[in-house]
Structure 1
Amino acid sequence: MQAVILAAGLGSRLGDIKKNLPKGFLYIESLHETLIERSLGLLKEAGIQEVIIGTGYENKAYNALADRLSAKDFKIITHKNEDFATTGSAYTLWCLRELITQDFLLLESDLVYEPLAIKALLQDERKDLVLASGTTRSGDEVYMSIVQDKLQDLSKDKTKLDSIDGELVGISKISLQSFMKLDCHSQNDYEYLLKGFDVLKIDNLIWCEIDCLEHLERAKKLIIPKILKKDSQ
């Protein structure tokens, strides 16, 4: 199984703190590594041997990272979405179509999460699976409407959904067969392509997205200490 990380975005909401680097290179002092380094480490620990990173903004940083961390048993491939400034994550995923040759885990680059997120998806026998959590009150939630364990709809606007049954984490498992059927040109954001997929909901999953300074402060104060405490147990 491969892993695909979508990392083409500008990350403009983080301002100068990311130092003209992609937001996956945000360094977290208490973790002693960047967001992307943590994700790569967790994927390697889970047995993933090949990671494809869809790049865009400041792609050279990811190229250098791949050169530094690739190994015989852990290959990192980067591929740039040349139109990253005017397209969304669905198009970045489409740009990787010739590199994706197996079932894969799909991740966003700006996440901090406990190892359970990856392990649970890999251990579940279902082929196409979207990871959901319980209520986070993060302030930038993508709400999910789930019917019979399948993703019916999702939105940041609660009023647009028939029910609120979970929150999108930003990590999924997609079979090669289903990927080949996705219409990546029909949506701007990749997550809307996953409607109809099975959902794995972990109510108390420890995770967060870091997409702005407020997210970063919340991560430092609330989320990362919980992850470190659980990692040490």
Structure 2
Amino acid sequence: MIRSAVILAAGMGTRLAGELEDCPKGFLRLGRQSIIEESIERLVAAGIQDIVIVTGHCADYYDRFASGQGGLVRTVHNPHFADSGSMYSLYCARDVVDQDFLLLESDLIYESRALTELLIEPATDAILLSGPTGAGDEVWVQTRDGNLVAMSKNRSVLTNSATGELVGISKISATLFALMQEIAAQAFTTSLHFDYETDCLVVAGERRPIYCPLIADLVWTEIDDPAHLQHAREQIYPQIAKIDG
């Protein structure tokens, strides 16, 4: 049973600068709480007992938040957040994560089913997919026999039709994480700009199966730019609130 989660929250959110008022994206509010608080509530409801947030931009917001969570939440800082990719942020957590875990991004809103379905999935390594959202900036995933083959924001480069969209919630075994660290350490000799999904997981998927369960009607969105934020406020968040109550 998975009891740990890692949330990647180091990004600067430059496309949302006018909305953030110098705070991290995770502190955006669509309801009575910030989206990071809502995500953590869902994680706890799903049985998660230990949460690591990898910080970068405005790290003090997360540090203060974690200090009031009674030991549930810890923070790890990515000192190179302004000049690195998402895999380097995850790599920064390597000394505090020693078991299977859920991996999430801090700028997501999603219905609870995303977690419960992923947690009951028998595969030890799994990347959650949804049907087409039309939200823009999608990452498309190609599979073979249900397992990861390729990912790209450019759907036309995939050799076969895309199975679904990357949600940004994954189940990572300790074995897969060790492999990802090995792949990343080699990549970092050239550049820290190496992403966990389109770069590292795709390479890892060539060496071990990474299952890609699809929830075609999952309600979710990332919030990366003003258009995403408007879409989240007006359409997605009200739907999630209705579904999850």
- State the TM-score bracket (shorter-chain normalisation): over 0.9
> Do residues 188 (structure 1) and 181 (structure 2) align?
no
Higher strand proportion: 1
In the alignment, structure 1 segments of 5+ residues that lack a partner are none
Scaled by the length of structure 1, what TM-score is found? 0.95
Match of 1:164 in 2: 162
Q: Is the 8 A contact 1:2 1:105 kept in 2?
A: yes
Aligned to 1:198: 211
The aligned length equals 227
In the TM superposition, residue 181 of structure 1 has moved relative to its aligned partner by: 1.1
1:176 aligns with 2:135: no
Structure 1 segments (4+ residues) deviating >3 Å: none
The alpha-carbon deviation at position 124 of structure 1 amounts to 1.1
Q: Which amino acid aligns with 1:87?
A: S
User: Which amino acid counterpart does residue 77 of structure 2 have in structure 1?
Assistant: K
C-alpha distance in structure 1 between counterparts of 2:70 and 2:25, whole Å: 20
Matches of 2:50 and 2:70 in 1, distance apart? 9
Q: What is residue 7 of structure 1 aligned with on the other side?
A: 9
Partner Cα separation in structure 2 for residue 231 and residue 113 of structure 1: 10
CA deviation after TM superposition for structure 1 residue 16, in Å: 2.3
Q: 2:18 and 2:107 mapped to 1: Cα distance? A: 16
Task: Please list, as runs of the form range in 1=range in 2, the aligned pairs for 1:43-58 lying within 5 A after superposition.
Answer: 43-58=43-58
User: 2: distance between equivalents of 1:70 and 1:126?
Assistant: 32
Determine what percentage of the aligned residue pairs are the same residue. 43
- Between the aligned partners of 2:146 and 2:93, the Cα distance in structure 1 is 28
2: distance between equivalents of 1:189 and 1:70? 31
Structure 2 residue 138 is matched with structure 1 residue 141: yes
Deviation at 1:59, TM superposition (A): 0.4
Matched, 1:83 2:107: no
Residue 138 of structure 2 aligns to a residue whose secondary structure is coil
* Greater helix fraction, Structure 1 or Structure 2: 2
Indicate the residue corresponding to 2:20 in structure 1: 18
Candidates 212, 221, 227, aligned match of 1:214: 227
- SS at the partner of 1:136? coil
Q: Distance in 2 between matches of 1:97 and 1:15?
A: 30
Q: Which residue matches 2:29?
A: 27
Does the residue aligned with 1:184 lie in a helix, a strand or coil?
helix
Offset at residue 63 of structure 1 (A): 0.3
Any unmatched runs of 5+ in structure 2? Answer: 188-192
Structure 1 segment 109-124 matched on structure 2, within 5 A: 109-124=106-121
Provide the alpha-carbon RMSD of the alignment.
1.1
Which amino acid counterpart does residue 40 of structure 2 have in structure 1?
L
